[in-house]
Structure 1
Amino acid sequence: MTGVDRPSGDSAGEGPLLLGVRHHGPGSARAVRAVLEAARPRAVLIEGPPEADALIPLAADEEMRPPVALLAHAVDEPGCSAFWPLAEFSPEWVALRWALDHGVPARFIDLPATHTLAWDKEERPPTAGEPGDAEPEPGDAASSPEDEASRSVHGSGDALRVDPLAVLAEAAGYDDPERWWEDVVEHRGAGSGDPLTPFTVLEEAMAALREEYGTGGHRRDTVREAYMRLQMRSSLREFGPGVAVVCGAWHVPALRRRTAVSADRALLKGLPKVRTDMTWVPWTHRRLSRAGGYGAGIESPGWYAHLFAAPDRPVERWLTKVAGLLREEDRIVSSAHVIEAVRLADTLAALRGRPLPGLSETTDAVRAVMCEGSDVPLALVRDHLVVGDVLGEVPASTPAVPLQRDLARLQKRLRLKPEPTERELELDLRKETDSGRSRLLHRLCLLGVGWGEPTVSRGSTGTFRETWRLSWEPELAVRIAEAGVWGTTVLGAATAKTEGDALAARALADVTALAERCLLAELPDALPVVMRVLADRAALDADVGHLAQALPALVRSLRYGDVRGTDTRALAEVAAGLAKRVFVGLPPACTALDAEAAEEMRRHVDAVHGAVVLLAEGAREADGEIRARWRSVLRALSGRDTVAGVVRGRAVRLLLDEGELGQDEAARIMGLALSPGTAPADAAAWIEGFVGGGAGGMLLVHDERLLGLVDAWLTGVPADAFTGVLPLLRRTFSAYEPGVRRTLGDLVRRGPKAQGSAVAVGVGVSGFGPDLDAGRADAVVPVVRLLLGLDSPGNGDPGEPGGSDLDGSGSRREGGELVGVAR
Structure 2
Amino acid sequence: MAPLHVVGVRHHSPACARLVSETIAALRPAHVLIEGPADFNGRLDELALDHTLPIAIYSYLGEKEGSHRSWSPLCDYSPEWIALTEGRASGAAVKFIDLPAWHGAFAQIENRYSDAERRYTEATDRLCREFAVDNPDALWDHLVEVAESDGLAERLDHYFALVRGEAETTENDTEREDYMAQWIRAALAEDDGPVLVICGGFHAPALRRLAAAAGSAAWPEIPAAPEGADIGSFLVPYSFKRLDAFAGYQSGMPSPEYYQRLWDDGAERAAAALVELVAARLRRRKQVVSTADLIGAKSLTEGLARLRGHGRPGRTDVLDGLASALINDDLPQPLPWTRRGTLTRGTHPVVVEMTAALAGERTGRLHPDTPAPPLVASVQDILEQLDLDGENRLTLHLSDARDLERSRALHCLRLLDIPGFKRDSGPTAGSDVIAEEQWELRVDTNRLPAVIEAGVYGANLGDAAQTVLEQRVSDAGGDLNAQAGLLFSAALCGRARLTDRLAREIAFAIGECDDLAAVGRTLAVALALFRHDDLFGSAGSDLYATVIETCAEHALWLAESLRAGPGPAEPGRINALAALRDTLRFTPTLVPPREGIAATASRVAADPAAPPDLRGAAAGLAWTLGRPVAAIEAGPDRLGDWLAGLFVVAREEVLAEEGEASVVNAVDGVVGEMTATEFLEALPALRQAFGFFPPRERALLAEQLTALRETGTEGRDLVRRTEVDPVMVASAMELEARVDAVMEREHLGDKR
TM-score grouping bracket, smaller chain normalisation = 0.5 to 0.7
Shift in alpha-carbon separation, 1:69–1:598, aligned structure 2, 3 A? same
Aligned pairs (5 A) from 1:612-623: none
Aligned pairs (5 A) from 1:216-365: 216-238=168-190, 240-257=192-209, 262-263=214-215, 274=226, 277-289=232-244, 295-311=250-266, 312-365=268-321
TM-score, normalised via structure 1 length: 0.59
Instruction: Name the amino acid aligned to 2:726.
Output: L
CA distance in 1, matches of 2:561, 2:60: 58
Shift in alpha-carbon separation, 1:530–1:232, aligned structure 2, 3 A? closer
Partner SS, residue 331 of structure 1? coil
| Corresponding residue of 1:619 | none
Partner SS, residue 144 of structure 1? helix
The Cα RMSD (Å) is 6.1
CA contact (8 A) 1:637 1:647 kept: no
1:50 to partner: Cα distance: 1.6
| Corresponding residue of 1:726 | none
Aligned pairs (5 A) from 1:645-664: 645-648=640-643
1:187 to partner: Cα distance: 1.1
| Corresponding residue of 1:443 | 412
| Corresponding residue of 1:376 | 348
CA contact (8 A) 1:67 1:282 kept: yes
CA distance in 2, matches of 1:690, 1:356: 78
CA distance in 1, matches of 2:140, 2:474: 56
1:402 equivalent to 2:374? Answer yes
| Corresponding residue of 1:749 | none
1:19 to partner: Cα distance: 2.6
CA contact (8 A) 1:67 1:85 kept: yes
Shift in alpha-carbon separation, 1:452–1:604, aligned structure 2, 3 A? farther
List per-residue Cα deviations over 1:78-121 (Å, max 9, x = no partner): 72444323233211112223234x2634533433228x71345x
CA contact (8 A) 2:520 2:579 kept: no
Instruction: Name the amino acid aligned to 1:599.
Output: A
Aligned pairs (5 A) from 1:545-624: 548-550=520-522, 552-554=524-526, 565-566=535-536, 570=540, 594-595=564-565, 599-600=569-570, 602-605=571-574
Aligned pairs (5 A) from 1:148-187: 148-149=116-117, 152-153=120-121, 165-166=124-125, 168-172=127-131, 174-187=133-146
| Corresponding residue of 1:804 | none
| Corresponding residue of 1:704 | 724
Partner SS, residue 103 of structure 2? helix
List per-residue Cα deviations over 1:635-663 (Å, max 9, x = no partner): x999943675235258779999xx979xx
1:182 to partner: Cα distance: 0.8
Instruction: Name the amino acid aligned to 1:177.
Output: P
CA contact (8 A) 2:56 2:235 kept: yes
Identity %: 22
1:143 to partner: Cα distance: 4.8
Partner SS, residue 47 of structure 1? strand
CA contact (8 A) 1:282 1:392 kept: yes
| Corresponding residue of 1:491 | 462
Shift in alpha-carbon separation, 1:253–1:680, aligned structure 2, 3 A? same
Aligned pairs (5 A) from 1:630-669: 640-641=632-633, 645-648=640-643
| Corresponding residue of 1:23 | 11
CA contact (8 A) 2:481 2:522 kept: yes
1:318 to partner: Cα distance: 0.9
CA contact (8 A) 1:26 1:90 kept: yes
Instruction: Name the amino acid aligned to 1:246.
Output: I
| Corresponding residue of 2:38 | 50
CA contact (8 A) 1:20 1:249 kept: yes
Pick the aligned partner of 1:521 from 493, 496, 506: 493
Partner SS, residue 61 of structure 2? strand
Partner SS, residue 85 of structure 1? strand
Pick the aligned partner of 1:144 from 113, 117, 123: 113
List per-residue Cα deviations over 1:102-154 (Å, max 9, x = no partner): 2634533433228x71345xxxxxxxxxxx6x3x5xxxx635165x3465436
Instruction: Name the amino acid aligned to 1:301.
Output: P
CA distance in 1, matches of 2:354, 2:632: 63
1:44 to partner: Cα distance: 2.4
Instruction: Name the amino acid aligned to 1:333.
Output: V
CA contact (8 A) 2:520 2:572 kept: no
CA distance in 2, matches of 1:404, 1:85: 20
CA distance in 2, matches of 1:502, 1:248: 38
Pick the aligned partner of 2:454 from 475, 480, 498: 480
CA distance in 1, matches of 2:7, 2:65: 36
| Corresponding residue of 2:605 | none
| Corresponding residue of 1:733 | none
1:199 to partner: Cα distance: 1.3
Shift in alpha-carbon separation, 1:469–1:442, aligned structure 2, 3 A? same
Instruction: Name the amino acid aligned to 1:491.
Output: G
1:321 to partner: Cα distance: 0.8
CA contact (8 A) 1:89 1:308 kept: yes
CA distance in 2, matches of 1:293, 1:320: 25
CA distance in 2, matches of 1:335, 1:566: 61
1:240 to partner: Cα distance: 2.2
Shift in alpha-carbon separation, 1:342–1:611, aligned structure 2, 3 A? farther
List per-residue Cα deviations over 1:736-792 (Å, max 9, x = no partner): xxxxxxxxxxxxxxxxxxxxxxxxxxxxxxxxxxxxxxxxxxxxxxxxxxxxxxxxx
1:61 to partner: Cα distance: 2.0
Shift in alpha-carbon separation, 1:477–1:237, aligned structure 2, 3 A? farther
Aligned pairs (5 A) from 1:808-819: none
Partner SS, residue 338 of structure 1? helix
| Corresponding residue of 1:203 | 157
CA distance in 2, matches of 1:221, 1:25: 22
1:428 equivalent to 2:407? Answer no
CA distance in 2, matches of 1:499, 1:544: 24
CA distance in 2, matches of 1:265, 1:174: 45
Instruction: Name the amino acid aligned to 2:180.
Output: M
CA contact (8 A) 1:79 1:478 kept: no
List per-residue Cα deviations over 1:367-418 (Å, max 9, x = no partner): 3333444753234325523344544444455455434542455467778899
Once structures 1 and 2 are overlaid, which stretch shifts more, 270-279 or 356-365? 270-279
Return 5+ residue gaps in structure 2 as ranges.
332-346, 429-433, 586-619, 657-663, 696-718, 740-752
List per-residue Cα deviations over 1:685-714 (Å, max 9, x = no partner): 445556799x9xxx9985536244453377
Aligned length: 627
List per-residue Cα deviations over 1:18-39 (Å, max 9, x = no partner): 3321112122123323433454
1:500 to partner: Cα distance: 11
Shift in alpha-carbon separation, 1:692–1:82, aligned structure 2, 3 A? same
Shift in alpha-carbon separation, 1:439–1:464, aligned structure 2, 3 A? same
Pick the aligned partner of 2:104 from 82, 97, 118: 118
| Corresponding residue of 1:35 | 23
1:359 to partner: Cα distance: 3.1
CA contact (8 A) 1:72 1:279 kept: no
1:451 to partner: Cα distance: 4.4
Partner SS, residue 113 of structure 1? coil
